[in-house]
């Protein structure tokens, strides 16, 4: 537990992905089974503890610490688990067995004990553990059991770190992952080359998806349009739907996100519909969309259905989920991935037709002979077949007709040609220091556009951008911020901005939504700096009306 606690502590402060990987790989290499396996489960979110609630932790500390001192401490620290971890009184040595024969607390003991103990015994068990640990250990334990471990590590990154132990790609780990359970002894044995690959016994396993490289118009000239098939790039979320049968012949249907996280429970309406398809076993690759009266809704509508712990009946009715299929990876025990795209597409068309299920439809092909024709379709999807769904199209996908389905992002077979981004000229208002390599640079910029204020024009912030610029531009912007600071708020600086003085940034963004969380009522998607307009006076920057008009245009009719 101590080693894991130190790992979690360090991860929580480390901003760089590669350095996080190294910290985790170093831990997995130097920690024995089964401890590292349970740690992997913790990092991938595979551990869940039912009964450890904040109220219990509060009760434990109130028995041990003066309430005024607790209140002052909590007020200062601001986080309950952390406050309790720091406040927990050190037990007298012989009471806790510290420094005696008892081995240090292991995560495996925590996991197995919590799995078998009832709610009644939890307070005394937890208190005994807290007595044995130091500040960092207590913090890690409390964060783990309350399920609020936030150390900036995705399940995918943790699996990548395991793969790095033995030169395995993360996709190879994903292939076997869903058949495994903590503490993953067989997984580590295989990665370290000591044993054979674990048998995938999962009746409905996740298959790591194939991803596309971005492409721009000039690059198309080198490609032959006859080699490619095109379809719309839908602005939903990537979804894999897998059906199979378990050892008892019971049907299993699962839905996975792009990263292999199962989200079946979030879409019971869709799962219910797809569980009754005539085909026995299958794996569909497609896009999760919300449709109303046959029309695809923009991403902002889908967002309201995502990230909910429970889905109410009203939500199911207001946000009906659909899957728009674009690939078929397996059918009735046959792995279709080695087939060419054109052959998989034929199988997919037949599959969708046979299914005859309203919640499942086919992503239509976009027909074209030349790149110019495709460019025209991309510029105006509504006239090129997408019709009323055009607002949910965010570009076109290009797939080589002879391409087999390869997990990961191979260079060549698939491309995404995104719709041109939107642009707005905005004025820099605040700048914040970045992290990691950029920690000495003011690299995150809040920008605003003009609106009518009580006393004339005023700037209202509409977003924050921290990418899109070269290192030289970053150095120049950093200097600009330092030389034009008018206020400091901790790591944030306010820069000079008014109609005559200030810096205009041309911001590119992918989409725009209404937002109640932003002062302007508007949120931009993926904003980044397209150009720095050193030449442009701030008074010529855009007004909020430009963005509002864009929003209304994209509003579903």
Partner 1 sequence: MRGSDLLKTTPAGLYCAAGNFHIDPLRPVKRALITHGHSDHARAGHDSVLATHETLAIMAARCGAEFAGTTQTAAYGERISIDGLTVSFHPAGHVLGSAQICIESKGLRVVISGDYKTMRDPTCAPFELVPCDVFISEATFGLPVFRHPDAAHEIARLIDSCRLFPERAHLVGAYSLGKAQRIMALVREAGWERPIYIHGTMEKLTRLYESEGIDLGEIVRVTGPERPKLGGEIVICPPSALQELWSRRFHEPVPAFASGWMRVRARARQRGVELPLVISDHADWDELCETVLATGCSELWVTHGEEDALVHWATGQGLAARPLHLIGYGEEEVEDLEPEKPAGEAGPALI
62 is an interface residue for partner 1 by CB under 8 A: no
Return the closest-CA partner of residue 377 out of 363, 364, 395. 395
Compute the distance between CA of residue 550 and CA of residue 172 in angstroms, rounded to an integer: 43
Question: What sign has the CA pseudo-torsion 148, 152, 156, 160?
Answer: negative
Residue with tokens 């990263």: 259
Question: Quick one: 49 or 70, whose CB is closer to partner 1?
Answer: 70
Return the closest-CA partner of residue 14 out of 439, 498, 347, 450. 439
Q: How far is the CB of 431 from partner 1 (least distance, A)?
A: 12
Per-residue x/- mask for partner 1, residues 163 to 202, rule CB under 8 A? ----------------------------------------
Which of 483, 516, 534, 535 touches partner 1 by CB under 8 A?
483
First CA to last CA distance, the chain: 56
Q: How far is the CB of 274 from partner 1 (least distance, A)?
A: 44
Compute the distance between CA of residue 233 and CA of residue 299 in angstroms, rounded to an integer: 12
Positions in 20-49 near partner 1 (CB under 8 A):
22-23, 26
Compute the distance between CA of residue 482 and CA of residue 111 in angstroms, rounded to an integer: 51
Return the closest-CA partner of residue 348 out of 368, 323, 367, 380. 323
13 is an interface residue for partner 1 by CB under 8 A: yes
Name the segment binding partner 1 (CB under 8 A); options: 73-81, 182-190, 343-351, 367-375. Answer: 73-81
Three-state secondary-structure class, residue 413: coil
Name the segment binding partner 1 (CB under 8 A); options: 97-105, 206-214, 365-373, 434-442. Answer: 434-442
Which of 32, 55, 78, 118 touches partner 1 by CB under 8 A?
78
Q: How far is the CB of 86 from partner 1 (least distance, A)?
A: 4
86 is an interface residue for partner 1 by CB under 8 A: yes
50 is an interface residue for partner 1 by CB under 8 A: no
Contact 106, 35 (CB under 8 A): yes
Name the segment binding partner 1 (CB under 8 A); options: 197-205, 215-223, 257-265, 476-484. Answer: 476-484
Contact 81, 143 (CB under 8 A): yes
435 is an interface residue for partner 1 by CB under 8 A: yes
Q: Which residues pair with 531 in a beta bridge?
A: 506
The tokens for 554 are: 């994209």
Q: How far is the CB of 60 from partner 1 (least distance, A)?
A: 15
Helix (H) or strand (E) holding 241, with range, is strand 237-245
Per CB under 8 A, residues contacting partner 1 are 6, 10, 12-16, 19, 22-23, 26, 65-66, 68-69, 72-73, 76-79, 82-83, 86-87, 90, 134-135, 433, 435-437, 439-441, 479, 482-483, 485, 490-491
């Amino acid at each position: 537990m101590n080693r894991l606690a130190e790992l979690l502590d360090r991860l929580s402060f480390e901003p760089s992905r590669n350095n996080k990987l190294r910290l985790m790989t170093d831990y997995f290499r130097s920690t024995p089974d089964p401890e590292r396996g349970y740690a992997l489960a913790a990092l991938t979110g595979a551990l869940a503890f039912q009964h450890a609630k904040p109220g219990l932790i509060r009760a434990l500390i109130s028995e041990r610490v003066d309430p005024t001192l607790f209140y002052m401490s909590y007020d200062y620290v601001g986080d309950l688990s952390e406050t309790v971890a720091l406040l927990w009184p050190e037990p007298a040595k012989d009471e806790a067995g510290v420094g005696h024969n008892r081995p240090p607390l292991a995560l495996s003991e925590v996991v197995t004990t919590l799995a078998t103990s009832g709610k009644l015994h939890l307070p005394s068990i937890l208190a005994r553990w807290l007595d044995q640990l130091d500040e960092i250990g207590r913090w890690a334990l409390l964060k783990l059991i309350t399920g609020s471990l936030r150390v900036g590590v995705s399940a995918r990154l943790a699996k990548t770190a395991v793969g790095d132990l033995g030169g395995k790609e993360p996709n190879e780990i994903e292939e076997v992952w869903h058949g495994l359970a903590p503490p993953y002894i067989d997984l580590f044995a295989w990665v370290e080359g000591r044993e054979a690959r674990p048998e995938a016994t999962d009746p409905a396993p996740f298959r790591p998806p194939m991803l596309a490289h971005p492409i721009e118009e000039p690059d198309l000239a080198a490609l032959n349009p006859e080699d490619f098939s095109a379809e719309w790039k839908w602005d939903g979320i990537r979804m894999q739907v897998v059906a199979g049968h378990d050892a008892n012949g019971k049907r299993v249907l699962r839905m996975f996100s792009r990263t292999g996280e199962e989200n079946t429970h979030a879409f019971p309406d869709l799962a219910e519909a797809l569980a009754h398809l005539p085909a026995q076993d299958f794996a569909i690759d497609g896009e999760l969309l919300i449709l109303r009266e046959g029309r695809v809704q923009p991403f902002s509508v889908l967002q309201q259905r995502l990230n909910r712990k429970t889905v109410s009946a009203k939500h199911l009715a207001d946000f009906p989920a659909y899957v728009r299929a674009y690939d078929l990876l397996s059918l009735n025990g046959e792995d279709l991935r080695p087939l060419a795209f054109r052959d998989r597409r034929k199988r997919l068309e037949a599959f969708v037709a046979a299914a005859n299920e309203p919640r499942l439809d086919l992503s239509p092909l976009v027909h074209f002979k030349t790149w110019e024709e495709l460019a025209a379709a991309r510029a105006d999807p509504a006239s090129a077949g997408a019709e009323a769904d055009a607002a949910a199209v965010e570009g076109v996908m290009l797939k080589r007709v002879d391409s087999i389905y390869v997990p990961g992002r191979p260079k060549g077979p698939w491309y995404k040609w995104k719709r041109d981004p939107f642009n707005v000229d905005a004025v820099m208002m605040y700048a914040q220091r970045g992290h990691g390599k950029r920690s000495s640079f003011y690299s995150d910029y809040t920008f605003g556009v003009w609106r009518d204020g009580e006393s004339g024009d005023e700037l209202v912030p509409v977003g924050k951008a921290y990418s899109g610029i070269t290192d030289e531009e970053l150095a120049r912007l950093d200097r600009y911020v330092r030389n034009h600071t008018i206020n400091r708020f901790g790591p944030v600086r306010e820069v000079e901005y008014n109609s005559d003085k200030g810096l205009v940034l041309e911001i590119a963004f992918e989409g725009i939504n209404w937002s109640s969380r932003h002062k302007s009522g508007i949120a931009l998607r993926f904003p980044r700096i397209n150009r720095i307009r050193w030449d442009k006076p701030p008074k010529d920057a855009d007004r909020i009306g430009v963005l509002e008009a864009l929003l209304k245009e994209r509003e579903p009719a």
